[in-house]
Chains A and B, each alone.
Chain A
Amino acid sequence: MNEQNSTVMSKVERYYKDYGIRARELKKEGKTVISYLCSLVPMEIITAAGLVPFRIRGNVNEPITKGDTNLETIACPFIRSCFDLSVKGWYDFCDGIVIPHGCDSMTRPYSTWRYTLGLPYSHFINVPHTVSGPSMEFFTEELNTFRKSLGRFAQKEIADSDLIEAIDLYNENRDKAKALYDLRKSDPPLISGTEMSKILTVGMSLPVTEANELFAEVLEELTQRKEAPVHKAPRIMVDGACIDNIDFVKLIEDSGANVVVDSLCIGTRDYLPHTDVGGDPLDALAHRYLDKINCPRTYREKAEGAYEKDLTARFGDIGSLGKEFKVDGVILYVYKYCDPFGFEVPARKAYLDSLNIPVLYLEDEYSAGIIGRLRTRIQAFLEMIE
């Protein structure tokens, strides 16, 4: 692998290992950092306010300890880890936190987060569960409430022009992410799944301008790559929710497969959809975050009463990614206590079955220490589809 002698990849590595290092530096320089959970917080609004958005990440290598004294262990383990790191001070450079109504594990303990961290700013964004005219109108209003509230905190009126500028920057970021994904279409892919996970995760910890620069550098270097960093091997797609550590993807790749695409929050679910331009920026953001981000927490029923047709509305994107990236199998990876995904497992499996794509469903905790026990299942799955 030419990763070692690459300066940009070692930068990615550093940012990944010491997650938040740039935000910390920026804070020292006098910037204000706003942390957030989940893919449903419009980073564009934070950026437009002149603040630095920073996505809170968990860490599978850090045992959850302190957090458990204030948050029940029946929350999803990813959220528990995020909370644990936050109360341990890993993200003490943040001035505020924004939590959206993603799922119960995120929503119900909002007060717990707010009071325990005691940050100068906190805000909850109420994301509706359905996609309809009234819900879109509601969500636009709700985003406007956020815009005003954050504006008060930042002492800056967030103008439409600020939003439009931020939207452009993020769309650029998504173009670059798409270009990175395209590098995975060849067989073997020009970028390993592990590398990709690192890059995408790191992107969430940087101001968008810096993320854009970094992605550009990575792209330039990778397109120069003469040789693929990995061998030809079964092409796997990972489907699931909040995977923000490389350990799982690495385990798959160490077991003799290439992860070539995903349907994950820190992945295509968040990185691919663009915000529409040309119209009202807030409307466009509402549309992106409610409708375009295809997360099971949002109920989509396109064809009333026709369950079969709905399957395409719900999972069609997974199917087409699978086709586009020529995957040999899908690994559906869901955390214990994850309600939005947990209730969909049989339907997702049935959908992939109907496309004749083999699927392996794994339920896991959020801990590097025990992830190894999945190895046999993954290897057996690879032996099965070979």
Chain B
Amino acid sequence: MSDYFAGIDIGSTMTKVVIMNDGIISSIIGPTGPEQRRLANRVMENALNQAGLPFDAITYLVATGYGRINVPFADKQVTEISCHAKGVAHLFPECKTIIDIGGQDSKGITIDHGRPTDFVMNDKCAAGTGRFLEVIAEALEITIEACGGMALKSKEPAQISNICTVFAEQEVVARLAEGVPLNDLVAGILESLASRISRMVKRLKVANEVVITGGGAKNAGLVKALSDKLGYATLVPPEPLITGAVGAALLGKDIVQKATKNSLPLERKKRSLEEIEIL
């Protein structure tokens, strides 16, 4: 019988589930929702359906991400730092630096053979995260998805002097009224965001290859701005949202293999997808 390993990455906005045996056999991304565990459940269920597996078939399940603590059916909790390191190294064996840009936080990780060697994180200030983009996009009445393309069309990105999200929002609206082209404004905003992230990441010993993950990686304009600021070429995985979940599943696999090798008992939680009470 083949072993199946699952990773569930519960972020502040999105929940990602990956089921693997030798390769990925199912991966689902769904909203975390306000009642995070209940929806996390549903994402798990969808992933199992997609894989055509009963929950019991999962040998080991690792939870990660912001909501990892409250997953009753997870066998182990591991931080997203370790999981991203593992997941990205699986996809890009030469990777030395990861930049993850999420909805509520952003982080930089340096890795060596799939293990983190150092990391930095920003989650207290919206200005260095996807949240910044969200606020600004709303103020400019455009979608986040459109931002990347618009920015790439700009020849002269606007200078945005304010870092604070609230001030920047004011500034952008005022500049728009002055007639600064929208593309330039968007490009300016992405540069400002990229510069926030880049100077945080520069606290690490950045080295090639640099891989960008998370929602921010889907924004071509941001990726380009970030590469420029960092002075490194960057790579983006085909599905940048699931690297954490992939890593979680792989870490689960490592744990099981280690236990089997040393004939150690494995602690596993009950595989139950019943409604979970919200604390």
Given contacts A373-B124, A376-B66, contact A384 B116 (CB under 8 A): yes
Cα(A20)–Cα(B163), bound, Å: 43
How many B residues have CB within 8 A of the partner chain? Answer: 14
A304 / chain B contacts, CB cutoff of 8 Å: none
B66 touches A380 (CB 8 A): no
The answer to whether B82 and A380 have CB atoms under 8 Å apart is yes
- Chain B residues positioned under 8 Å from A373 (CB to CB): 123-124
Which A residues touch B123, using CB under 8 A? 373
Which secondary structure dominates chain B's binding surface?
Answer: mixed
Contact with B along A360-386 (1 / 0, CB 8 A): 000000000010010011011001100
Q: How many whole Å from A251's CB to the nearest CB in chain B? A: 13
Q: Does B5 contact A (CB under 8 A)?
A: no
Query: What residue in chain B is nearest A377 (Cβ atoms)?
Result: B121
* Bound-state Cα–Cα, A379 to B82, Å: 9
| Contact of B124 with A384 in the complex, beta carbons under 8 Å | no
Cα A383 to Cα B82 in complex, Å, equals 7
Residue of A nearest to B66 (CB): A376
Complex Cα–Cα for A379 and B76 (A) = 13
The verdict on A383 contacting B80 (CB below 8 Å), with A373-B123, A373-B124 known, is no
Interface of A is mostly: helix
Measured between alpha carbons, how far is A380 from B78 in the docked complex, in Å? 8
Instruction: A366 to B66: give the CA distance in the assembly, Å.
Output: 22
Beta-carbon contact of A384 and B78 below 8 Å? no
Minimal Cβ-Cβ distance residue in A for B82: A383
A379 near B124: Cβ-Cβ < 8 Å: no
Contact of A376 among B79, B117, B118, B124 (CB under 8 A): B79
A354 to chain B, nearest CB (A): 15
The answer to whether B89 has its CB under 8 Å from any CB of chain A is no
Contact A383 B81, beta carbon cutoff 8 Å:
yes
Residues on the A chain within 8 Å of B79, using CB: 376, 379-380, 383
Would you call B124 and A380 a contact (CB within 8 A)?
no
Q: Is the CB of B82 within 8 A of A370?
A: no
Chain B, residues 74-118, CB within 8 Å of chain A (1/0): the string is: 000011111000000000000000000000000000000001111
Smallest CB-CB separation from A378: which chain B residue? Answer: B79
Q: Identify the closest chain A residue to B109 (Cβ).
A: A380
Q: Which residues of chain B have C-beta atoms less than 8 A from A380's C-beta?
A: 79-82, 116, 119
Known: A373-B123, A379-B79, A384-B115. 8 other contacts (CB 8 A): A376-B66, A376-B80, A377-B121, A380-B79, A380-B82, A383-B79, A384-B82, A384-B119
